[in-house]
Amino acid sequence: MSVLQPFIRTRTVPLLGSLSIFTTSLISSPTVQLTQRRWASKKGGGSSKSKTNPSGKRLGVKRFAGEEVSAGQILVRQKGTQFHPGDH
């Protein structure tokens, strides 16, 4: 037997012909006040995927063997030091 058993009222509601619904409801009592409270909540952070591929960084060799270059021209664009400066 639950704690709320004395306060629960059950009844049958007739529907179409022989169909019926069994319903339960709490009888309001001044001494017992049952309320449900929904606290504010934040939706969980979902993941998002970029819809397009990012553009290339245009890395690589810019001047090849046999090409004439002047001082200050970029020979290679790279991340890190794959090609070290020197006699290239």
Q: How far apart are CA 78 and CA 88, in angstroms?
A: 15
pLDDT above 60 for 58: yes
Q: 8, 24 in Cβ contact below 8 A?
A: yes
Q: What is the distance of C-alpha 74 from the center of its chain?
A: 43
pLDDT the model gives residue 26 = 54
Cβ-based neighbour number of residue 17 at 10 Å: 6
Residue 82 to residues 36, 59, 76, 87: CA-CA distances in angstroms? 65, 12, 10, 14
- Going by pLDDT thresholds of 50, 70 and 90, the confidence category of residue 66 is very high
Per-chain mean pLDDT for the chain = 75
Mapped onto helix, strand or coil, the DSSP state of residue 70 is coil
Tell me how far apart the terminal alpha carbons of the chain are, to the nearest angstrom. 90
Average pLDDT over residues 14-36: 59
Is pTM, for the whole model, over 0.75? no
